[in-house]
Amino acid sequence: MAAEPSPQRTYRAACPGCGAPVEFRSAQSTHAVCAYCQSTVARTGETLSRVGKMAELFDDHSPLQLQASGVWRGKGFTLVGRLQYRYAEGTWTEWHAALEDGTNAFLSEDNGAYVFSTALQIGRELPQPERFRVGTTTAIKGKSYSVASNNQVALLSAQGELPHLPVQGQWFAMVELRSQDGAGGSHAAGEVLSIDYGCQPATVSSGQSVLLEELKLTGLRDESVKNENARQFNCPNCGAQLTPLLASSKTLSCAACHSIIDLSQGIGAELRHAVQDEPVTPLIPLGSQGALQGVLWQVVGFQHRMGVDPGDPDEQFGWEEYLLYNAKRGFIFLVDSTEGWSVVQPCTGAPVLSANQQSASYRGASYQLKESYNAETSYVAGEFYWQVSRGQKTWNRDFASGKNLLSMEQSAQEVTWSSGSQIDSDLVARTFKLEAKKDLLKRSDVGPFSAAKSISVGAMVVLVLLLLLVLILLSRCASCDPATQNCASSSGVRTSGGSYGGYSSGGGHK
């Protein structure tokens, strides 16, 4: 029988700031934050020196906490440190995991999604961050990756012991690459490669998406703590009292005046808001709960979006997206377009586009390009884990394979892929107890997506007659005097389309 790994030697010394004990469980930890006075402590051999003071942690209501332990790929680990970062669209947390074999790992936590990463030795100097252009591909150690994001990030706060510590508040580049293959968790596939330019030289880590239950964690934070810290504040526009449902929300809408409120700087900071006219009422009320795919979800956010064909700006179409939340699974999207309802979630891995970009492959399946269009958010309600605003724009591509869907959304800073499948509107009605709205929820259920729907001979005759009528009307309009304004132009509204992915390029870190 193999011998049990010997426990690592724990080093403990007095904090140079207050004298309280500071403990190092990992031999590779170079920094620690004193739990008593928040001093930032650097370790050089057996000597500790105070190099500054760390800001207080923001309360992210995570189920994780220091000293929680689990198992990853047969190795035990303990969470001994935490780094809290911010970037333009939100925040995320990196937990320092000390493995029982003496090596380090990180458990990245971003709004209910988790990636477990270990260091990757490249063996050569890395390019400067500006060389990684979002949406392009690159090779690392002979393996192809897609550049998913290139963001400027900054350290907000830290806790416990850490193998490295960026300068607090100083911005630096963080680049993320995705591969299609990889030993992902049961719910997603793909490898996440992170390049951290907060160190010199830059460091690289390789990770895979995981579920918390897969890590067999013990010592988690008591969930009741979440209920003791409910945040309340008054709407900066109308004064109505608001209570965010989720501690991680970056955007919240006011139910009274429909203003979009920016929470990204915290409740204590000055609250910015944007007034929204012409409110849109969701068919599924915010707060509704229902089980999809064996998991109980709650509707926490809603947005209406518009798509525009770049080749014909007058051709527009709209669709709606519901943001669903589960405490252990994070977020998914329920998308409502005229072609049907679909359930989608962000991909960890990066699908591979064909050379002509007319198809994409993901997890062994091939998807054909259905539409390319510019998308814009026109109305939001509820809460969002990224900083969403009216007028946000992305470049979208939708792919389909039967009832399965694949969507790409691209902004200047990141590319987000989402995958999912179409579901019947009757299931939506049953799930959210909306049988009385069954007719309103009805869509073109549920056949494979196709650019041309099969139609009967009778319907074809009707279409031909309608086409002739349109041609007659157009011929009349061609001879009108525009000054009389007697001829109204077509609105260009299209009855097909709609993003499968949602996500609005928001909060895509890992």
Question: Nearest Cα to 351, choosing from 416, 402, 396?
Answer: 416
Distance CA 96, CA 29 (A): 10
53-63 residue pLDDT tens: 666 676 666 78
Lowest mean pLDDT among 232-236, 430-434, 447-451: 447-451
> In this predicted structure, what is the pLDDT of residue 343?
95
- Per-domain residue ranges of the chain: 57-215, 280-441
Residue 503 scores a pLDDT above 50: no
> In this predicted structure, what is the pLDDT of residue 181?
61
Q: Are strands 312-326 and 393-401 parallel, antiparallel or unpaired?
A: unpaired
Q: How much is the mean pLDDT over the chain?
A: 78
> In this predicted structure, what is the pLDDT of residue 510?
44
Phi, psi of 498 (to 5 degrees): 120, 130
pTM summary value = 0.66
Distance CA 140, CA 146 (A): 10
Q: What is the mean pLDDT of residues 185-195?
A: 67
> Both tokens of residue 237?
């526009």
Distance CA 130, CA 150 (A): 8
Q: What is the mean pLDDT of residues 254-262?
A: 88
Distance CA 406, CA 345 (A): 10
Distance CA 373, CA 399 (A): 12
Question: Are 405 and 449 within 8 A, CB to CB?
Answer: yes
Residue 133 scores a pLDDT above 50: yes
> In this predicted structure, what is the pLDDT of residue 262?
85
Burial of 201 (0-12, 13-18, 19+ CB in 10 A): exposed
Question: Are 118 and 207 within 8 A, CB to CB?
Answer: yes
15-36 residue pLDDT tens: 777 777 777 777 667 777 877 6
Q: Quick check: helix, strand or coil at residue 271?
A: coil
Q: How many CB atoms lie within 10 A of CB 120?
A: 17
Q: What is the mean pLDDT of residues 147-163?
A: 89
316-365 residue pLDDT tens: 899 999 999 987 788 899 999 988 999 998 887 778 888 898 999 888 89
Angle at 34 between CA 33 and CA 36, to 5 degrees: 140
Q: What is the mean pLDDT of residues 241-252?
A: 81
Question: Which region holds residue 357: left if phi is over 0, alpha if psi is between -120 and 50, else beta?
Answer: left
> In this predicted structure, what is the pLDDT of residue 301?
94
> In this predicted structure, what is the pLDDT of residue 453?
34
Burial of 114 (0-12, 13-18, 19+ CB in 10 A): buried
Q: Where are the beta strands (DSSP E) in 88-202?
A: 90-99, 104-110, 113-119, 137-140, 143-162, 172-178, 191-196
| Count of helices and strands (H, E) across the chain | 4, 31
> In this predicted structure, what is the pLDDT of residue 436?
93
Q: Quick check: helix, strand or coil at residue 474?
A: helix
369-423 residue pLDDT tens: 999 999 999 999 998 887 788 888 999 999 999 999 999 998 888 888 899 999 9
Q: What is the mean pLDDT of residues 185-190?
A: 48
Q: Which residue has the higher pLDDT, 10 or 162?
A: 162
> In this predicted structure, what is the pLDDT of residue 489?
29
Phi, psi of 152 (to 5 degrees): -90, 125
> In this predicted structure, what is the pLDDT of residue 13?
74
**H-type alpha helices, 357-480:** 425-431, 438-441, 457-478
Q: Which residue is associated with the tokens 């090596």?
A: 103
Lowest mean pLDDT among 171-180, 281-290, 477-486: 477-486
> In this predicted structure, what is the pLDDT of residue 102?
87
97-120 residue pLDDT tens: 999 988 999 999 876 678 999 999
Distance CA 43, CA 11 (A): 10
Q: Which residue is associated with the tokens 């929300």?
A: 249
Q: How confident is the model at residue 132 (pLDDT cuts 50, 70, 90)?
A: very high
Q: How many CB atoms lie within 10 A of CB 217?
A: 17
Residue 244 scores a pLDDT above 60: yes
- Which of 37-46, 67-76, 340-349, 468-477 holds the top average pLDDT? 67-76
Q: Are strands 21-24 and 69-72 parallel, antiparallel or unpaired?
A: unpaired
Lowest mean pLDDT among 174-178, 288-292, 374-378, 502-506: 502-506
